[in-house]
C-alpha cells in the first residue's frame, strides 16, 4: 500500500479530539483519528439487568478497579483495565486515574456540567500572586465558548457575575422551574451570608448525550475528510530527523500487537491530559522548558454536608415544599481586602429532597430503619467543587521499568494536596453548616475530608501553555514551543483550573487551536 500522509493526525477521540476533528474537517483538512479502544454500540453493549443477575450482586469483582470510586458492577467494563494499562504512585500518595478508552472516551459518561472559566482563573496570578497567568483571557475564548455552548445546547440562568461568566445559553429546565420552599430558604440564608445563588448549568446535547460521538464526530465523518481507526494504542510520536518536525506516530494494534506507523503533516494530541503528556514523555520531545509533566492539578470534591428540613421529615413533605437544586459559584477571595486563610475558591452544588444514605447514621437494625424513614425525602445535600493549586512538585514521569500490555512505558504519578486544599474544604463545610442552620435545617453529616487527587476525573496541567518557552510547554495556541507541528488540545494545556468542570474550556480551546492550525496549514507555516 502507498504511504498515506494526512494533513492532521489526531490521537484521542473524546471531547478535545472530537472537536479538533469537527473543526478541522469543516475547513477541508484531512484527518486521521487514532483511538486506543474499541467502538461501543449503545444498543448491543448495554442491557437492563437486576443486580442479583450479576456475578457479584452489584459489588463488582473485588479489586478490579481499586482507583475508580465511581466504578460498580454495572459500569465496570467501561473503565480502563488497570492490569492492561497500569500506572503507579507512591504508597502514601494515592492518585485515582480514571480513564475510558472507548471511542468518545470520557465524553460518553461525563456529568454535563458546563461552565466557563473567568478571568479570576485566567489571570489568577495577577489577582493573588500565586503561580502564573494563562497567556489568554476570557475575551480570547469568549467567541469559542459561545459556539461550543450552542453546539452542546447548554442551559443555564444568566447572572451577570464576573466570576461566573454567563454563556450562550439555550432555553431549558435550568432556569425554568419554580423554587421550592426549601430552595427559597436556602437561597435567603446564602444571600444573608453574601453568596449569590444560581442554578446548575448543563449541556443538554442530543437525547441527553453530549458526547464527541454524537455532537462532533458524525459531522466530521460526513465531510469525507475523517478516517477513524479504533484499537490503535499510540506508542510515540515519530520525528523526522531532517526537519526536526513530527512526521506521524508509531502505534500498536490492540488485539494483534502489530506495530504500525501513520503519517501526517501535523500531530494533534487529545488523548486526555495524562495520556497526552505520557506520549510526549515517551517520545522524549517538547520538554526544553522542563515543565512537561509538571504542574499537575485537578479539583477537589470531598467535603460533604447533609441536613434535613424539619417540616419535610416523617413523610410530611407536601408539593412545593422541597426539591430542586441550587448552585452557589465561587464567592471566596474575590475581594482582596477580605482575604481568607486559603487561596482561590470553590463552588457549592446542593440538591434537596433526597433521602439519606444509610451510611450516614451510626445505627443498625430497626433503629436505623426508623432514622431512614424519618429523614426520607427531607434531606439537603451539599458538596464542594474546589480549586486545586497548580504546583510544580506535583508531576508525572515515566516509570523506569513499568510497561503496559503493549510494552509501552507507564506513568508514575506524584501528586499531593496541600494545606490550601484542606483549609478550603474546611471552609466549605463550615459555610454549608452555617447556611443550613441559618435556614432552620437540622445538620446530619459534616465531612471536611479531601478526596484523593484524581477523584474528580478532572486531571489538568502537565503540558501547560504560556508565552515564555522557558516555563511552558505550549504557546497560546496549544502549539508546542519546541516542535511547531505538534498541538496538545486537551486538559494538559491548562495553567489553572478553577472550580469549574473543565469540559467547556477544553472544547473551546480545541476549537480555537484547530482553527489556528487550519490557517497555519493553509499558509504553509506548518
Note the residues at the interface with other proteins (CB under 8 A): 37-41, 44-54, 56-59, 61-63, 72-78, 81, 84, 102, 231, 254-257, 302, 304, 358-366, 369, 405, 445, 447, 449-451
Residue 270 near residue 17, CB atoms below 8 Å: yes
Smallest separation, CB 457 to other proteins (Å) = 17
Smaller CB separation from other proteins, 340 or 358: 358
Smallest separation, CB 383 to other proteins (Å) = 11
The Cα–Cα gap between 100 and 96 comes to 13
Burial of 191 (0-12, 13-18, 19+ CB in 10 A): exposed
Smallest separation, CB 153 to other proteins (Å) = 23
Smallest separation, CB 344 to other proteins (Å) = 21
Nearest to 465, CA basis, from 446, 448, 490: 490
Smallest separation, CB 43 to other proteins (Å) = 11
141 Cβ contact partners less than 8 Å away, ≥ 6 residues apart: 116, 117, 505, 508, 509, 512
Smaller CB separation from other proteins, 378 or 526: 378
Separation in Å, CA 236 to CA 267, 390, 458, 486, 517 = 11, 27, 24, 12, 21
Nearest to 480, CA basis, from 499, 492, 495, 465: 465
Smaller CB separation from other proteins, 224 or 365: 365
Smallest separation, CB 275 to other proteins (Å) = 17
Place of cell 417540616: 311
The Cα–Cα gap between 464 and 92 comes to 26
The Cα–Cα gap between 278 and 490 comes to 13
Smaller CB separation from other proteins, 48 or 401: 48
Smaller CB separation from other proteins, 248 or 383: 383
For residue 500, give the C-alpha cell. Answer: 469549574
Smallest separation, CB 386 to other proteins (Å) = 14
The Cα–Cα gap between 43 and 30 comes to 30
Distance of CA 361 to the CA centre of its chain: 32
Smaller CB separation from other proteins, 109 or 195: 109
Smaller CB separation from other proteins, 303 or 486: 303
The Cα–Cα gap between 98 and 118 comes to 27
Amino acid at each position: 500500500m502507498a504511504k498515506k500522509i494526512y494533513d492532521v493526525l489526531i490521537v484521542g477521540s473524546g471531547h478535545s479530539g472530537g472537536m479538533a476533528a469537527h473543526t478541522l474537517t469543516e475547513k477541508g483538512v484531512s484527518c486521521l483519528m487514532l483511538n486506543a479502544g474499541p467502538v461501543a454500540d449503545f444498543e448491543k453493549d448495554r442491557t437492563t439487568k437486576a443486580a442479583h443477575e450479576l456475578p457479584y450482586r452489584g459489588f463488582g469483582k473485588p479489586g478490579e478497579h481499586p482507583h475508580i470510586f465511581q466504578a460498580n458492577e454495572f459500569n465496570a467494563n467501561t473503565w480502563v483495565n488497570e492490569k492492561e494499562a497500569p500506572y503507579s504512585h507512591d504508597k502514601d500518595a494515592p492518585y485515582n486515574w480514571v480513564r475510558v478508552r472507548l471511542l468518545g472516551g470520557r465524553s460518553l459518561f461525563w456529568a454535563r456540567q458546563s461552565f466557563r472559566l473567568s478571568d479570576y482563573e485566567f489571570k489568577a496570578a495577577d489577582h493573588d500572586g500565586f503561580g502564573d497567568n494563562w497567556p489568554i483571557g476570557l475575551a480570547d475564548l469568549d467567541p469559542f465558548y459561545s459556539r461550543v455552548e450552542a453546539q452542546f445546547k447548554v442551559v443555564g440562568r444568566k447572572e451577570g457575575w464576573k466570576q461566573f461568566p454567563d454563556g450562550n445559553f439555550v432555553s431549558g429546565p435550568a432556569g425554568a422551574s419554580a423554587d421550592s420552599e426549601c430552595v427559597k430558604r436556602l437561597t435567603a440564608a446564602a444571600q444573608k451570608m453574601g453568596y449569590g445563588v444560581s442554578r446548575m448549568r448543563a449541556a443538554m446535547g442530543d437525547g441527553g448525550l453530549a458526547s464527541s460521538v454524537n455532537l462532533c464526530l458524525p459531522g466530521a465523518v460526513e465531510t469525507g475528510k475523517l478516517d477513524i481507526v479504533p484499537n490503535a494504542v499510540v506508542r510515540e510520536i515519530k520525528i523526522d530527523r531532517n526537519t526536526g518536525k513530527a512526521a506521524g506516530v508509531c502505534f500498536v494494534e490492540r488485539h494483534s500487537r502489530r506495530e504500525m506507523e501513520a503519517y501526517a503533516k501535523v500531530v494533534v494530541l487529545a488523548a486526555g491530559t495524562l495520556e497526552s503528556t505520557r506520549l510526549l514523555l515517551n517520545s522524549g520531545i517538547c520538554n526544553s522548558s522542563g515543565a512537561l509533566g509538571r504542574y499537575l492539578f485537578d479539583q477537589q470534591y470531598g467535603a460533604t454536608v447533609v441536613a434535613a428540613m424539619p417540616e419535610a421529615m416523617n413523610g410530611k413533605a407536601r408539593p412545593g415544599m422541597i426539591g430542586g437544586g441550587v448552585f452557589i459559584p465561587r464567592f471566596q477571595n474575590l475581594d482582596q481586602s477580605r482575604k481568607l486563610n486559603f487561596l482561590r475558591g470553590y463552588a457549592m452544588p446542593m440538591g434537596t429532597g433526597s433521602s439519606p444514605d444509610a451510611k450516614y447514621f451510626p445505627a443498625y437494625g430497626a433503629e436505623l430503619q426508623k432514622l431512614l424513614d424519618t429523614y426520607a425525602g427531607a434531606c439537603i445535600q451539599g458538596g464542594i467543587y474546589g480549586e486545586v493549586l497548580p504546583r510544580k512538585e506535583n508531576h508525572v514521569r515515566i516509570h523506569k521499568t513499568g510497561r503496559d500490555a503493549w510494552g509501552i512505558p507507564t506513568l508514575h504519578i506524584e501528586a499531593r494536596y496541600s494545606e490550601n486544599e484542606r483549609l478550603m474544604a474546611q471552609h466549605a463545610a463550615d459555610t454549608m453548616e452555617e447556611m443550613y442552620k441559618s435556614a432552620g435545617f437540622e445538620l446530619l453529616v459534616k465531612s471536611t475530608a479531601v478526596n484523593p487527587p484524581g477523584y474528580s476525573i478532572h486531571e489538568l496541567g502537565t503540558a501547560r501553555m504560556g508565552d515564555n518557552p522557558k516555563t511552558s510547554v505550549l504557546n497560546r495556541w496549544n502549539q508546542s514551543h519546541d516542535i511547531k507541528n505538534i498541538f496538545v488540545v486537551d486538559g494538559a494545556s491548562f495553567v489553572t483550573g478553577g472550580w469549574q468542570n473543565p469540559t467547556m474550556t477544553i472544547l473551546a480551546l480545541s476549537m480555537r487551536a484547530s482553527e489556528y492550525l487550519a490557517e497555519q496549514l493553509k499558509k504553509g507555516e506548518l
